[in-house]
A and B are shown apart, each in its own frame.
Chain A
Amino acid sequence: MLTYIIRRVLILIPMAFVICFLVYCGLELTPGDAVSHMINPDALGSMDPAQIEALRQSLGLGQPFYVRFWSWFSNLIQGNFGFSTNGGVPIANIIATRLPATLELASVALIFSTVIGCLLGILSALSRGSKADGALTVVGMLGVSIPEFFFGLVAILVFALNLGWFPVGGRSMPSYVTLWDRLPHLVLPSMVLSIMLTAGVMRYARSSMLDALSRDFIKTARSKGLPEWRVNLLHGFRVALTPVVVLIGFRLPVLIGGSVIIEQVFQWPGIGNEFISAVRSQDYPVVMTIALLSVMAVLVASLIVDVLTALIDPRVRLGE
């Protein structure tokens, strides 16, 4: 098992390098460069081309593509992400302040949707064809098909504006000290973020569970005289779990990259919100870093999924 994990981690390194390169290429292909965003277009017209060229050279933009990539990359692996073109703040600082907020939201949503989604999915599968199953199916379809921002707006309208139970948005106030103070802010965004995830997990868990329950080994388990809960959970759900873990795992990067829409709706100061404002102000270094972060999240998530599925399903353990 350990060698399996080590091998998977080692494969990550060249993959991460290639992806860094591709992201850099993507940036290279966009029209204009740093200089064209630094200088006011009106001023640009009246400037001496030699002056602009000198600025380019001083920023290192005159160098060939691969040299610039290498200088960016070597800085990157030393933990130097560069500076925001919008205010000159070190990007590392931006990430350090934004990432915890996003992770907080993501982990609550992830845990909630996994637990509730699996529970409802199992219930739904075990009571297949009943009224409860039908109701859960309808709710699940609604949850999957209605866009998040709609839920967000409805939640704000009902629970924040009309009922006044929770704050409209934001994450913190200057007077807050403990996590407990911030908790009311977390409820609405995390619940709204959970709805879609929960619905997806539930539908998936249900069909996966039904599939598992129809297999022969369930009959074997029952013929051994095991109690129903053990047959359903230890034999049925354990086997049904693999596809569910894959589904949840691949939602992980979406959550870490920041749920852009939810963070926007609730003014949550996370990565997603930062991403939006960076794109608007054409703050390329920040956009680059966040894109890279999302990509890394995908890689790490797939690693986690691989390790988890290998733990759950012995047939997955490659080359053992």
Chain B
Amino acid sequence: MTDVQDIAVSVRDLKTFFYTNNRCNKALNGVSFDIKKGKTLCIVGESGCGKSVTAASIMQLLPTLSRIEDGQIIYHAERGDIALHALDKNGKQMRRIRGAEIAMIFQDPMTALNPVYSVGYQIKETLKYHLKMTGRAAQQKAISLLKEMGIALPEKRVNDFPHRYSGGMRQRAMIAMAMACSPKVLIADEPTTALDVTIQAQIFELMDKLKRDHGTGIMLITHDMGVVAELADDVAVMYMGNIVEAGTVDEVLRNPSHPYTKALLASVPVLGRGRHQDIKAIRGSTPDPLNRPKGCQFADRCDFAIAQCQVMPPEFNMTKTHRVMCWRYQEVSAHG
């Protein structure tokens, strides 16, 4: 793996289970990855594959009926390594990190801001708790944050309530809030799903700029392969609670070696190929998480499936960075 110096958060063999109706849903079933400083890690996968649960596990914001069962989440802080998985969910230590050193932005900016407080107040709340910054200094900081996020007339807008902001502006405000304490890691859970495409491009541009200017490590959750190609340094493809393929963006997109990655890439429409292009949908649907197939979770929908797939494949390392969970990765990789 990479030099430990460059890693902000490393996740090892993370297992997060949900308990509903006395049944156990293994939402994350042994997930490992690193978020590097100043790099973007994209986590891709379809709905329900565990992307958001991964984010919630790192932030310790899991709902009550779920818990981290096994594995490690290590935050490499300047003051030494901190095992996040071992910290008390709402304890003082976790709260000190959450929002200040690891911040998060959410999918729907329309509902993620509290409607009864001004945007400035909500930014200042973070400043107050983490930097002990209050009064005029906090106000100035909030204004400069909004300005940095490209909000026009920040001196006026800072006192406005969220309902007077447009969707794109709200997401900018959310990012301003998340970046208030210059976090080492920014987790973005589908930050542009609720926004239209032009705004989407602006938000990503902004995130890319923050990464370059502040050296923030970004974990971007998305299901859009276009976004991955555009922004990612590293990619992790998730399916049913496992990372089925991970590597640098070049490795994964140019040499997809898991049938699922291949299928995902084949299902993206390409501009310029006309309207009769062949978009290959992945056949079948995701299995019931409470009634999982034995072995490889993707086998039922896979064109490459063989008898051996009834046994869960281990991770194969193709290169130092490129790893894949498939028995037939060599053939898949070679296959066009």
Contact = CB atoms under 8 A, between A and B. Distances in A.
Contact of A219 (B94, B103, B106, B116): B106
A313 B115 contact: yes
Nearest to A242: B116
Contact of B125 (A216, A224, A239, A313): A224
A312 B108 CA distance: 24
Given A216-B106, A216-B112, A225 B130 contact: yes
Interface in A279-320: 312-315
B168 to A, nearest CB: 17
Nearest to A216: B111
Contacts of A314: 115-116, 118, 161, 163
A225 B90 CA distance: 8
B130 A239 contact: no
A223 B55 CA distance: 11
A228 interface: yes
B126 interface: yes
Consensus secondary structure, chain A interface: helix
Given A219-B61, A219-B106, A224 B177 contact: yes
A239 B161 contact: no
In this complex, the member of A217, A220, A227, A315 whose beta carbon has the largest number of chain B beta carbons within 10 angstroms is: A220
A138 B238 CA distance: 46
Contacts of A220: 106, 112-114, 174, 177
Nearest to A226: B129
Contacts of B113: 217, 220
Interface in B133-176: 161, 163, 174
A37 interface: no
Contacts of B212: none
A208 to B, nearest CB: 13
Interface in A179-235: 215-217, 219-228, 235
Nearest to A219: B61
B114 A225 contact: no
B111 A224 contact: no
Contacts of A217: 111-115
Interface string B88-122: 00100011111110011010100111111110000
A239 B114 CA distance: 8
Contacts of B59: 223
Given A314-B161, A315-B161, A223 B98 contact: yes
A216 B108 contact: yes
Contacts of A222: 61, 90, 98
Contacts of B100: 225
B116 A313 contact: yes
Interface string A60-72: 0000000000000
B98 A315 contact: no
A250 to B, nearest CB: 21
A308 B126 CA distance: 27
B149 to A, nearest CB: 16
Interface of B: 59, 61, 90, 94-100, 103-104, 106, 108, 111-118, 125-126, 129-130, 161, 163, 174, 177
Given A223-B103, A313-B115, 18 more contacts: A216-B106, A216-B111, A217-B115, A220-B174, A221-B114, A221-B125, A222-B98, A223-B61, A223-B98, A224-B125, A225-B98, A225-B99, A225-B100, A226-B95, A228-B90, A239-B116, A314-B116, A314-B161
24 contacts: A217-B114, A217-B115, A219-B61, A220-B174, A223-B99, A224-B99, A224-B125, A225-B94, A225-B98, A225-B126, A225-B130, A226-B95, A226-B125, A226-B129, A227-B90, A235-B114, A238-B114, A239-B115, A239-B116, A313-B115, A313-B116, A314-B115, A315-B161, A315-B163
